[in-house]
Structure 1
Amino acid sequence: MREIVLDTETTGLDPRKGDRLIEIGCIELVNRIPTGQEFHRYINPQRTVPAEAEAVHGLSTQFLLDKPLFAEVAEEFLDFIAGDTLVIHNAVFDVGFLNAELERLGQGPPISMSRVVDTLQLARRKHPAGPNSLDALCKRYGIDNSKRVKHGALMDSVLLADVYVELLGERQASLGLGSERAGAGRGRTIAAAAVRGPRPAPLPVRLTEELIAAHRAFVETLGPKALWKRYFAPEDPA
């Protein structure tokens, strides 16, 4: 089952009053597990970014001047989300902006809310007393959001993917890979609960040079912005 976790940043709150899309971030989930495939673009809104909006996401008019127009990324974006389910926090806001941009291009049909899972609505049903902002849900579920100094579409999508799994009660067991996300806030996982103590002797290394090379070759096929590439050592040419 393929799902797309999606977030946007904008110049303001209402596309009907001239506010525009300035960032789209998406990550792909298959069976609720991130695959490493992502879509991330900054967009030139062809207007100034108000100071109050810049204070939220940190994206200035000057920064966005040389970025592509939505018309230049629309087809790639639509190809990435395809016909799959979209997972969005406060979906009415993001879908409203996306559909406004598509309407400007005369490119339809609009994104239907029938294909959207709104995690804000899920959270309100599960935690009616709130609060149910993304930051509040990260705190509730022990998800490390310390790098979220400002709003950012891609980072918020990564955090929302973890929140989504928690809201569904499908928390994944930690794989102990040593990544920043693998251990963050996962003291309650099945894997952690299964640890009984240190081994008397370490297991022998099972990875051969051939297996390592095959893994690197596979990661290379995932595209230049695949999340898995971030876990290679800096000096690693892969």
Structure 2
Amino acid sequence: MNTYLALEAVVVGDDPTTSRVVEIGCVEMHDDHPTGRSFHSYANPGRDLDVAALQAKGLSTEALADKPRFGDIAYGLICVIRDRPVLVLDAERVSAIEREMARVVEQLKPAGWSGEYRLDQVCELSVLSQIGQAMGQEDTSIEGFCKQYVLAAPQRAGGSLAVARFTGNLWQSMLPEYHKWQAKHS
């Protein structure tokens, strides 16, 4: 996988039924270098969210008020990731994106819609926390990965694009160990 996309979603809220993706960023990487191609958007959650949670992410309700709804950016995101290798840091982000996509599709109510949307149906999805766990890493948080691979944590103020770049750099750091692990387990 020489050229791939690193994807990050900023999610506000702890409850899966009420949490919302408020920012999404995707960076194209070739080996360990960003190509300069990216996708980035903020998303208006369409309702009030916990002010403290928003502030922790460096956002505010006012700053998101004039942004497009997730449904308005969903097609652009799908066009970017379709049939491409995509890396995501953890399964929680994947679930949050899938919930948002399911809400969008539910509003359209296509015939035969089951109410489920899976990101791996449109792209070649790899979740680094799951790969790390399979390789025996106990702590697959950002902090755990930073310690394991001696990486600087992404600046939260940099938002989704900073974490997406971190995800791409993390993958490059993981690759030698991953190839050894894969050779033993294939």
TM-score computed with the length of structure 2 as normaliser? 0.76
Question: Per-residue deviation at 1:66?
Answer: 1.0
Counterpart position of 2:10: 9
What is the 5 A alignment of 1:21-60? 21-31=21-31, 33-60=33-60
Q: 105, 124, 135: which one pairs with 2:133?
A: 124
Alpha-carbon separation, structure 1, partners of 2:59 and 2:32 = 30
**2:118 match: secondary structure:** coil
Counterpart position of 1:73: 73
Give the number of aligned pairs.
166
Structure index of larger Rg? 1
Aligned partner letter, 2:127: D
Alpha-carbon separation, structure 2, partners of 1:31 and 1:82 = 20
Are the aligned partners of 1:8 and 1:24 in contact in 2 as well (CA < 8 Å)?
Answer: yes
**2:75 match: secondary structure:** helix
1:103-159 CA-to-partner distances (Å, cap 9, x unmatched) read 22227863227832111122223353x3321133224323333x6145721111111
Alpha carbons of structure 1 residues 149 and 103: separation in structure 2 relative to 1, 3 Å? closer
Higher normalized contact order (CA 8 Å, seq sep 6+, divided by chain length): 2
1:164-215 CA-to-partner distances (Å, cap 9, x unmatched) read 1111128xxxxxxxxxxxxxxxxxxxxxxxxxxxxxxxxxxxxxxxxxxxxx
Alpha-carbon separation, structure 2, partners of 1:96 and 1:51 = 23
Aligned partner letter, 1:45: P
Counterpart position of 2:144: 136
> Gapped runs of 5+ residues in structure 1?
171-238
Which is helix-richer, 1 or 2? 2
Counterpart position of 1:82: 82
Alpha-carbon separation, structure 2, partners of 1:89 and 1:19 = 18
Alpha carbons of structure 1 residues 97 and 132: separation in structure 2 relative to 1, 3 Å? closer
Counterpart position of 2:120: 112
Counterpart position of 1:98: 97
Alpha carbons of structure 1 residues 123 and 151: separation in structure 2 relative to 1, 3 Å? farther
Alpha-carbon separation, structure 2, partners of 1:64 and 1:26 = 19
Aligned partner letter, 1:54: L
RMSD: 2.5
